[in-house]
Every structure is written in C-alpha cells, then in structure tokens.
C-alpha cells in the first residue's frame, strides 16, 4: 500500500470533512482507527524505564527524558497507513527523531491509565522507547469557590 504524507494542516481539514453530512446516528459513532483525523495533533505519549514524554504540537515534536536535554524537531506531516501514523522530525543537528502511534489501546503499567494508542519513539541513535499515547489530558474543572459573596 503506498504511503501518504499528510501535512498537519491537512489533517485538520480531513477531520472537518469527515464530520459533514450523514444522519445523527452515524455522526455519534467514533471514526474507525485508520482515519487520518484520529491522529490529528495535539498528541502526547509517555513511557517508563527510562521515563520519557513526547508532545506533538502542530509540526513540532518534543521528546523529554530525565537528565537529558529535550530533543525538538519539525516534522512536515505524518505518514498515515492503516491503524498507524508516523512523524519523522528533523532535529537542528541534522539527526532524525521518529514517533509512531498505533491505533491500539494501551495501558500504562505504572498508573493503570488507558490510552487510545500505543506509541513508539525511535531515537536518533536507533534506540526505541515504547509507551502509550493519545490526545493531551484535559485539566480537571476548577472547583467552585466556596462561600461566594452575593
């Protein structure tokens, strides 16, 4: 199957196009896991042993690891294949950082949290980091102020 590179802006357009038309019953069903819109940034991934975190914001991938400087690079778009999306980010020093999200539920062993994707990050030297990923967690709603004056 041929690979298709989809710029981040196009992913958003695909997401909007996928929402048009249809009846209300079909609009409420989740999209199948291989639809490009499911992999639209922002996305986060994390893993342990060693602990790491990855963010995808627009075309920027940023990898954070304990006791190491962050690696940040630009990926012009994702390569979308059935149930998979991959980004290859060019780092400032010319090396490449690759992140791949797989449409497969993932449970983070340390916390038991469930994520919609399993994730893999290939470091510039070739080492692989495995973890879980999905859209960024939404902050909990702020508690209502107690005893407000009227």
| Predicted structure pTM score | 0.69
In a domain, 126, yes or no: yes
In a domain, 24, yes or no: no
* Tens-digit pLDDT profile for residues 89-108: 999 999 999 999 999 999 98
In a domain, 139, yes or no: no
Give the CATH number for residue 117: 2.40.128
Number of domains, the chain: 1
* Tens-digit pLDDT profile for residues 16-67: 333 344 444 445 555 554 555 578 889 999 998 889 999 999 999 999 999 9
| Chain Cα centroid distance, residue 123 | 17
Look up the domain containing 13 and give its range: 4-18+31-134
Secondary structure of residue 4 in the 3-state scheme: strand
The CA distance from 34 to 32, in Å, is 6
């Amino acid at each position: 199957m041929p690979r298709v590179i989809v710029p981040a802006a196009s992913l958003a357009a695909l997401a909007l196009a996928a929402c048009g038309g249809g009846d209300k019953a079909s609009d409420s069903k989740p999209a199948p896991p291989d639809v490009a819109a499911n992999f639209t940034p922002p996305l986060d991934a994390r893993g342990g042993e060693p602990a790491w975190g990855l963010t995808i914001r627009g075309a920027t991938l940023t990898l954070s690891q304990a006791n190491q400087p962050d690696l940040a690079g630009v990926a012009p778009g994702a390569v979308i294949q059935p149930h998979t999306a991959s980004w290859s980010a060019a780092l400032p020093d010319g090396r490449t950082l690759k992140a791949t999200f797989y449409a497969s539920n993932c449970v983070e062993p340390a916390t038991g949290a469930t994520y919609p994707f399993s994730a893999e990050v290939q470091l510039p030297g070739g080492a692989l980091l495995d973890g879980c990923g999905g859209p960024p967690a939404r902050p909990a709603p702020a508690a209502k102020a107690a005893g407000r004056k009227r």
